[in-house]
Amino acid sequence: MMAINRYRLKVLSKTNKNARRTEHLLKDVDHLIGTILLGNNFVNIFAASIATILAIKLWGEDSIVLASLALTFVILVFAETTPKTFAAKNPEKIALPASLVIHVLIKLFKPFVWLISQLSRLILKLFGINSQDSREDISSEELRMVVNDAKPIIASNYQKMLLNIIDLEKVKVEDIMIPKHELISVDINKPDELLKQLERIQHTRLLTYDGSSDNITGVLHMRKVVNLYAKGEFSLDNVLGLVREPYFVPEGTSLAHQLEHFQTQKRRLGLVVDEYGEVRGMVVLEDILEEIVGQFTSNQNESIDEINPQKDGSFLVDPRISIRELNTALAINLSVDKAKTLNGLILEELQTIPKRDVSLKIDQLLIEILQISEQTIKLVKLTKLD
């Protein structure tokens, strides 16, 4: 009864009467265990009493010890170890048919079992132990183990997606956001600049600001601008009329919650702001989905890869890459608790802006700084150490 898989039992209970009965019995563990132990102890004690009487009548009082040893061996092998081990390894074969017998016994001995249960609770209470049902909800780590153990059942790609969904609660929006300095925006007070940006932009959305890039006023969807061209209604006023108010996301929001917010707000991107209301970056729906299913889009503007393998086994890396992407690509486990990019991790470790040709070791990774421009690290070489 205790070894049976509760999740499988729920599935079986939809079509199997014995499974439904077993599930009902497991909802009241006190009475279930009380009845089983009552019957178990009664049979063992009754058998010991009979064996003692028979031993005295047949061989005299000197045979009591020998009879007790023999009976202990018989009970351990044939009434305890063997049947209970078999039942633990085959819980469904035993629990489902036995549920009918146990159900009858619970009904029959319910008053006596209730009395024993109350006495047990009273004794436990005297020792400061709460005897109420203390079952806890399954944790995310336990759920990860369930998914990992389901390898023969779930295809590896689906298994990876399930694990990624479980991790959405741990990952924050700032872990995957596009940093502010990489965002493309335009001043709505400069018509010529706005028109030039519309001509050359390769993104689907353009941020607009009023006077200062810190004062973002909205988001312009390029598809709507194209529709104006198609209708012959393109003008600066009509374009500005398409600007939608920005949607702000507080940093620290988990991806699981943000995915839900995007769905309820009918949005596809949000601006991540810190506790002072300053914009730190932008989180996009597609990036959250990629955290689940993996990379499925490519950045057409990206002229070079962020990670370039070398013949000697090392990697040339753009330090602006996020640590999460780097961990996935190189199968390493750098900490993402503080710094979110490789650049930030290096600065955090050195506590100063480094010079060229400086090397440092973080975990099992050797980092060599190759290029620096305007006090910013431009290129590093990574070598995985044994």
As a CATH number, domain 171-293 is: 3.10.580.10
What band does 98 get if pLDDT is binned at 50, 70 and 90? very high
What band does 132 get if pLDDT is binned at 50, 70 and 90? low
pLDDT of residue 93 exceeding 50, the answer is yes
CA 23/CA 1 separation, integer angstroms: 9
CA 188/CA 148 separation, integer angstroms: 52
* Most confident segment among 171-175, 186-190, 247-251: 247-251
Between these two residues, 226 and 137, which has the higher pLDDT value?
A: 226
In the three-class reduction of DSSP (H, G, I as helix; E, B as strand; rest coil), residue 217 is classed as: strand
pLDDT of residue 130 exceeding 80, the answer is no
What band does 140 get if pLDDT is binned at 50, 70 and 90? confident
Rounded-to-5 percentages of helix, strand, coil across the chain: 55, 15, 30
Say what the pLDDT of residue 194 is: 86
Mean pLDDT taken over the chain: 85
Q: Which of 332, 336, 253 is closest to 288 using CA atoms?
A: 253
Burial bucket for residue 177 (CB in 10 Å: 0-12, 13-18, 19+): buried
Domain with CATH 3.10.580.10 in the chain: 171-293
Q: Please give the full DSSP string across 159-209, using - where no structure is assigned.
A: HHHHHHHHHTTT-BHHHHPEEGGG--EEETT-HHHHHHHHHH--SSEEEEE
Say what the pLDDT of residue 343 is: 87
In whole angstroms, how far apart are CA 149 and each of 6, 85, 145, 153, 167? 16, 22, 6, 9, 17
Q: Mean per-residue pLDDT for 94-100?
A: 93
Query: pTM for this structure?
Result: 0.64
Burial bucket for residue 34 (CB in 10 Å: 0-12, 13-18, 19+): buried
196 is written with which tokens? Answer: 């030039």
Q: What percent of the chain has pLDDT over 70?
A: 95
Q: What are phi and psi of 94, to 5 degrees?
A: -95, -45
pLDDT of residue 275 exceeding 50, the answer is yes
pLDDT of residue 370 exceeding 70, the answer is yes
Domain with CATH 3.30.465.10 in the chain: 307-384
Q: Mean per-residue pLDDT for 63-76?
A: 89
Between these two residues, 282 and 325, which has the higher pLDDT value?
A: 282
CA 365/CA 368 separation, integer angstroms: 10
Q: Please give the full DSSP string across 318-385, using - where no structure is assigned.
A: -TTSBHHHHHHHHT-----SS--BHHHHHHHHHSSPPPTT-EEEETTEEEEEEEEETTEEEEEEEEE-
CATH number of the domain at 307-384, out of 1.10.10.60, 3.10.350.10, 3.30.465.10, 3.40.190.10? 3.30.465.10
Express each pLDDT in 278-309 by its tens digit: 899 999 998 899 888 877 655 544 434 678 88
Q: Mean per-residue pLDDT for 149-170?
A: 82
What band does 46 get if pLDDT is binned at 50, 70 and 90? very high
